[in-house]
Amino acid sequence: MKNALIVMIGIASSTVFLSSAIGGQAPATTDLSSPRFSANDELMRPDNYREWIYLSSGLGMSYGTTTSPANANPPFDNVFVTPAAYRSFLATGKWPDKTMFVLELRGSASEGSINKQGHFQGQMLGMEVEVKDESRFPGKWAFYEFGRTAASAKPTPTTASCYSCHAQNGAVDNTFVQFYPTLADIAKQKGTFKSAP
Amino acid sequence: MKNALIVMIGIASSTVFLSSAIGGQAPATTDLSSPRFSANDELMRPDNYREWIYLSSGLGMSYGTTTSPANANPPFDNVFVTPAAYRSFLATGKWPDKTMFVLELRGSASEGSINKQGHFQGQMLGMEVEVKDESRFPGKWAFYEFGRTAASAKPTPTTASCYSCHAQNGAVDNTFVQFYPTLADIAKQKGTFKSAP
């Protein structure tokens, strides 16, 4: 699924990753407010992420340069974070333990219905998750790739570039708050925003 | 503010409008779950819309053709709907009375931080609202433009093109569900999705 996803991303030579801790519309006291792991340490797919807090979207974002021809319809990425983590961030400018982010990838199209220009979103291409769990992960954060339908996922190996890239370039903790306009403003107010690379 | 917004939208000759009913993270029993009107019938700005349910985003969407030169950094639009209306839609494929949508417009940029290609979101350019109130509006729905900071707004005159365009082209009721992938699937399942124009 990882390879299929990378092919679908097209020109994005460096996968745009996400970051974060689980929550939900439901009260923080339910099991929807924390990451859920299987007996063999796989993360269970957070099915309700579309009801979490939306942070931002990008179109065809890429952190690397490429000589590939431009993709006329590159993928959109939509980033969501668990509601409990969002509320904590508004108050402190930091991510609490158990924070969970989802990066959802969707196809794009330009002409459809009455639309004539620009891009709108289509079907889901894949979904990735970043979880903060200070007692479970030596580096505090871990990434998971669920593709379109996987019910659970093993953590991405810590040798993957997403770990070093997020650690080196995240504006707040291990996360790319520099690309989430409403949270970047909060982090700057709270003094937790690291200078952009 | 309307003119300023249109200028900022750039190549979007037909404003990408939104659709539908108020809600919030708070329980449906609070005043955040319904549109709030002032004594002189202005709609009060729904300050918490970033905590509503996210539906989709577009980049540089336009419903009209234009001969203007392409904008290298066209605006993003993000659409949110009130949580109570969203839950009702999941169950019925229809929008209940008091549904409220927000269309948020944000600037885009391509190069910034570690990003090299594609587009990510920047500062807010404006915010528009569509409300369904069957007893208040003869056509059941009304549009409001708040710009970046207005605390309240009068309804956009019903002679504006947004009214006829939404009535004629909305896939569900007065709303562009054809551009909200997760809800389009629901509407098709529930039999409420009108054929796209």
Q: Which residues contact B87 (CB under 8 A, 6 or more apart)?
A: none
Q: Do B54 and A56 touch (CB under 8 A)?
A: no
Asked if A181's CB is within 8 angstroms of B121's CB, the reply is yes
Q: Given CB atoms, is B76 within the 8 Å cutoff of chain A?
A: yes
Residue of B17, B25, B57 to mutate, interface with A, max A Cβ within 10 Å: B57
Q: Do B122 and A179 touch (CB under 8 A)?
A: no
Burial of A28 (0-12, 13-18, 19+ CB in 10 A): middle
pLDDT at B18: 34
Contact B61 A119 (CB under 8 A): yes
Computed over every residue of chain B, the mean pLDDT equals 84
Largest CA distance in chain A: 51
Given a contact cutoff of 8 angstroms between Cβ atoms, the answer to whether A55 and A182 are in contact is: yes
Which whole-number Å values give the CA distances from B82 to A147, B23, B30, B131, B180, in the listed order? 28, 4, 13, 10, 14
Tell me, yes or no, if A73 comes closer than 8 A to chain B by beta carbon: no
For chain B, the 3-state helix, strand and coil shares in percent, each to the nearest 5, are 25, 30, 45
Q: Is the dihedral of CA B20, B21, B27, B31 positive or negative?
A: positive
DSSP letter for A93, please: S
User: Which amino acid, A55?
Assistant: L
Spatial separation of the C-alpha atoms in residues B113 and A66, rounded to whole Å: 17
Chains A and B form CB pairs within 8 A to the count of 136
Q: Looking at CA atoms only, how far is residue A20 from chain B in angstroms? A: 17
* Tokens read off for B56: 């989709």
**Length of chain A measured in residues:** 197
Q: What does the block give as tokens for B64?
A: 């009209």
Residues of A in contact with B196 (CB under 8 A): 112-113
Instruction: Show residues of chain B in contact with A90, CB under 8 Å.
Output: none
Check A169 against B113: CB less than 8 A apart. Answer: yes
State how far residue B190 is from chain A, nearest Cα, in angstroms.
Answer: 19
Calculated CA dihedral for residues A21, A22, A24, A26, nearest 10 degrees: -110
Nearest CA in chain B to A124: B181
**pLDDT score, position A34:** 86
Amino acid A162 reads C
**Rounded to 5°, angle at Cα B56 from A126 and B122:** 100
For residue B74, list chain A residues with Cβ-Cβ distance below 8 A: 118
A 166-195 residues inside an 8 A Cβ radius of B: 169, 171, 176, 178-179, 181-182
Q: Give pTM, 2 decimals.
A: 0.84
B11 CB near a chain A CB, below 8 Å? yes
- Give every CB contact of residue A77 below 8 A, 6+ residues apart in sequence: A16, A18, A57, A58, A59, A61, A103, A104, A105, A106
Q: How far apart are the CA of B133 and the nearest CA of chain A, in angstroms? A: 24
What letter does residue B64 receive in the DSSP assignment?
S
pLDDT in tens, B170-188: 999 999 999 999 999 999 9
- For the record, the structure tokens of A190 come out as 């709270």
> Mutate which of B68, B86, B115, B177 to test chain A, going by most A C-beta atoms within 10 A?
B115
Q: Which residues contact B197 (CB under 8 A, 6 or more apart)?
A: A113, A114, B168, B169
How does residue B67 score in pLDDT terms, banded at 50, 70 and 90? low
Token code pair at residue B183: 């809800």
pLDDT of amino acid A123: 95
Distances (CA, A) of B11 to A112, A136, B76: 18, 49, 12
Is pLDDT above 70 for B78?
A: yes
DSSP code string of B123-170: EEEEEEEEEE-TTT-TTSEEEEE-TTT-SEEPBPPTTSHHHHHHHHH-
Across the interface, do B50 and A50 touch by the CB < 8 Å criterion? Answer: no
Count the Cβ atoms, other than its own, within 10 Å of residue A191.
7
**β-strand A152-153 against A43-44: which pairing, if any?**
antiparallel
SS3 at position A133? coil
B49 touches chain A (CB under 8 A): no
Q: What is the DSSP letter of A196?
A: P
Contact A115 B65 (CB under 8 A): no
Query: What whole-number distance in Å separates Cα of residue A76 and Cα of residue A10?
Result: 11
Q: Which residue of B has its CA nearest to A84?
A: B25
What values do phi and psi take at B85, rounded to 5? Answer: -65, -40
Report the largest interatomic distance among the alpha carbons of chain B, rounded to a whole angstrom.
51
Would you mind telling me the total number of residues written for chain B in this entry?
A: 197
| Single-letter code of the amino acid located at B97 | D
Spatial distance between the Cα atoms of A83 and A152, rounded to a whole number of angstroms: 21
Q: How confident is the model at residue B33 (pLDDT cuts 50, 70, 90)?
A: low
Average confidence (pLDDT) over B107-113? 90
B54 vs A: CB within 8 A: yes
CB A124 within 8 A of CB A108: no
Please give chain A's pLDDT, 197 residues, in tens. 343 333 333 323 333 333 332 233 433 334 456 899 999 999 999 989 999 999 999 999 888 776 566 788 999 999 999 999 999 999 999 999 999 999 999 999 998 888 888 999 999 999 999 999 999 999 999 999 999 999 999 999 999 999 999 999 999 999 999 999 999 999 999 999 997 55
Helix axis angle, A181-190 to A83-92, nearest 10°: 40
C-beta atoms of A182 and B76 within 8 A? no
How far apart, in whole angstroms, are the C-alpha atoms of residue B52 and residue B101?
9
Q: Which two tokens stand for residue A180?
A: 């989430």
